[in-house]
Structure 1
Amino acid sequence: MRHDDIWRALDALAAEHGLTASGLARKAGLDPTTFNKSKRLTGEGKPRWPSTESVSKVLDAVGAPLERLTELITGNAVAPRRASAAPQRRIPLIGLAQAGAEGYFDEAGYPVGGSWDEIDLPSVADPHAYAVEISGDSMEPVYRDGDIVIVSPAAPTRRGDRVVVRTNEGEVLAKELVRRSARRIELASLNPAFPDRGFDIDEVNWIARIIWASQ
């Protein structure tokens, strides 16, 4: 269990109930700044973990079992079974070039607003998953122009994962995660003709894992 996975799960739990991280803390009777991003690292850059008491209060406040938080941490939530349902789901769709504009994501990287298109794609467990249509050749030969990828904000990210990253400047990239520390993220380009990239943590708005592609 990783530090980033715990915080991402709490962000996902808040979003499920229409709350921000601050709103979730307030609902649980905690200081509204308890779950702020600035509180997730110490002044020396070391990981700061939420207390078990805080987690317990949050689960009580939203009426969620501990199992739900565990599902969000691991990214292995099980979708409810329906006897005759087809394994499809309508999920939000955005173009890669569009994704850098304001108004499409909240601060945790979850889709918001009413300007998204929709598309029928294989069902995934994350209720906040969305689709991105690749444009251009910067991700060839892995992803080509017109390919659709499903992105899961709740899925934990690890070295070697293909991810979508949005910077605070509005740049959106699809890369391979090489290394993630408390201070920096290193990314490898999928197309060898394009350079690898690296960012300080405070330059990154969010990072989310690609869990499916239409190829």
Structure 2
Amino acid sequence: MMDPEIAAIDAAMREQGKTKADLGRLLGLDSASVSRIFGGKRRLQLHEAREIQAWLGGTARAIEAGGKVMPMPGLVPLYGWVGAATESRLTIAEQNLRGYVPMHPNQQHVRDAFALEVSDISMVPRYEPGEIIYVAPNRWPSRGQDCVMVTIEGAGLLKRFVRRDPDLLVLHQLNPDKELHFEMAQVAAIHSVVGRG
């Protein structure tokens, strides 16, 4: 099944008599890259989506309206990156919106659901860099469930939930294999990971 954003672009192109070769010329992509976009193997970058919207005259159901990126039904926002404690930072804010991705089935009926991109190898082999994770915000995970913990400094950490004591949060990292302890005073938010892709 085609991504809703790509399906809307495809329909608008057909309606206007524009071809995939035309799209490739617009974006400076070869035919194989364009095929990967329509086959769901390559995501559109935000600047590419904007170029396409301008090219199609805004008819592909607003990816951008009034200067603001707008979601389409069935999509969730893709924010920033999430990774190791000392390297990556995550701020869930509109200015870090990278685009939209199809909603994971486990996010249906989840208010303010979003997605993140994994940036490092701290959870390999479970998650690889560049992989997308789907999040249910402000939902405490079950024991053994993966989660994103956001520190008060703004660091976003993808780890496995071990336990929560009154003053301590314990998480598990796979690579290198170790248990991490955080005082609850350091924790700004915790979100459950409900899918990957």
The normalised TM-score by structure 2 is: 0.54
Deviation sequence 1:5-44 (CA, Å, 0-9, x none): xxxxxxxxxxxxxxxxxxxxxxxxxxxxxxxxxxxxxxxx
Preserved contact between residue 95 and residue 134 of structure 1 (Cα < 8 Å): no
For each residue in 1:82-131, what CA deviation from the matched residue of structure 2 results, as whole angstroms up to 9, or x when unmatched? xxxxxx72111023259735xx43xxxxxx42541211233422121100
- Structure 2: how far apart are the matches of 1:97 and 1:161? 16
Q: 1:137 aligns with which of 98, 121, 126?
A: 121
Q: Which residue type is aligned with residue 77 of structure 2?
A: P
CA contact (8 A) 1:160 1:176 kept: yes
Following the alignment from structure 1 to structure 2, what is the Cα–Cα distance between the partners of residues 114 and 95? 10
Question: 1:210 — aligned with what?
Answer: 193
Contact 2:78-2:115 at 8 Å conserved across structures: yes
Equivalent residue for 1:177, pick from 154, 158, 161 = 161
Among the aligned pairs, what percent are the same residue?
27
> What amino acid is aligned across from residue 113 of structure 1 in structure 2?
E
C-alpha separation between the residues in 1 aligned to 2:124 and 2:96?
Answer: 28
- With the length of structure 1 as denominator, give the TM-score of the two structures: 0.49
Change (3 A) 1:115 1:137: closer
Matched, 1:113 2:103: no
Structure-1 residue corresponding to 2:143: 159
Distance in 1, Cα, partners of 2:156 & 2:135: 13
Distance 1:114 1:96, change over 3 A: closer
Alpha-carbon separation, structure 2, partners of 1:157 and 1:204: 14
Separation (CA, whole Å) in 1 of partners of 2:129 and 2:142 = 26
SS in 2 for 1:128: coil
Give the equivalent residue in structure 2 for 1:122: 104
Equivalent-residue separation in structure 1 for 2:138 and 2:129 (angstroms): 26
What is the aligned length? 118
State the superposition RMSD in angstroms: 2.2
- Structure 1 unaligned regions, length at least 5: 1-87, 106-111
Counterparts of 1:187 and 1:180, CA distance in 2: 9
Question: In 2, distance between residues paired with 1:114 and 1:148?
Answer: 19
Q: 1:194: Cα distance to partner?
A: 4.7
Distance 1:97 1:174, change over 3 A: closer
Q: Which structure has greater strand proportion? A: 2
C-alpha displacement of 1:211: 0.3
Equivalent AA in structure 1 for residue 116 of structure 2: V
C-alpha distance in 2 between matches for 1:170 and 1:154: 15
Given candidates 86, 89, 93, the residue that maps to 1:100 is 89
Point out where structure 2 has 5 or more consecutive residues left out of the alignment. 1-72
- SS of 1:202 mapped into structure 2: helix
SS at match of 2:125: coil
Structure-2 residue corresponding to 1:61? none
